[in-house]
């Protein structure tokens, strides 16, 4: 992801509310409403995260962060994965996820990719299951949301 992509990503949040924002990544690294400055600051100051822009015909259609959670075990997590509204429910998410996982396994040598999805985000959940992720645990967050933790192992990735 390039610095100039930040404004596009912020634009993907313009017509969303705080609840949508919180499930995407609010509270921990970003605050509502998302700003270009927040994204650029995180991109500059974060060593254990790689930022990726999803593109289609050279246009940015989304983003994802890949957080390295355990270098010794070679585990990372897909975080703050977002497609622009016009690109959702059209198969792009699955393709972006496939490319991101292939990069993690084949280029970065990761053994496991993890992610968390909330139970009410059924489209994302179906995308992750279709991509081969399996549910490993569930927890209720302090706000009452059910977080489903999923993972994909490198040897099971095709």
pLDDT at 11 over 70: yes
Contact between 56 and 93 (Cβ < 8 Å): no
> How far is it, in rounded angstroms, from Cα 14 to Cα 37?
15
Confidence of residue 99 (pLDDT cuts 50, 70, 90): very high
Q: What is the pTM of this model?
A: 0.92
pLDDT tens digits for range 46-97: 999 999 999 999 999 999 999 999 999 999 999 999 999 999 999 999 999 9
pLDDT tens digits for range 30-60: 999 999 999 999 999 999 999 999 999 999 9
- Read off φ and ψ for residue 18, nearest 5 degrees: -65, -35
Q: What is the mean pLDDT of residues 139-153?
A: 95
Give kind and range of the element (H or E) at residue 93: helix 92-102
Fold of 3-111: Aminopeptidase (3.40.630)
What does each C-alpha distance from 8 to 26, 37, 64, 75, 110 come to in angstroms? 18, 12, 13, 29, 29
The domain segmentation of the chain, as residue ranges, is: 3-111
């Amino acid at each position: 992801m390039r610095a100039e992509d930040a404004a596009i990503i912020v634009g993907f949040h313009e017509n969303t509310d705080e609840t949508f924002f919180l499930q995407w990544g609010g509270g921990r690294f970003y605050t509502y409403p998302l700003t270009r400055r927040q994204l650029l600051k995180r991109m500059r100051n974060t060593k254990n995260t790689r930022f990726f822009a999803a593109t289609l015909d050279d246009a940015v259609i989304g983003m994802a962060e890949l957080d390295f959670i355990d270098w010794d075990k070679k585990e990372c997590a897909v975080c703050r994965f977002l497609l622009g509204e016009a690109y959702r429910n059209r198969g792009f998410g699955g393709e972006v996820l496939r490319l991101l996982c292939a990069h993690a396994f084949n280029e970065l040598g990761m053994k496991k990719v993890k992610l968390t999805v909330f139970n009410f985000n059924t489209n994302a959940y179906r995308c992750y299951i279709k991509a081969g992720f399996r549910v490993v645990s569930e927890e209720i967050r302090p706000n009452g949301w059910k977080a489903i933790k999923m993972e994909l192992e490198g040897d099971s990735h095709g």
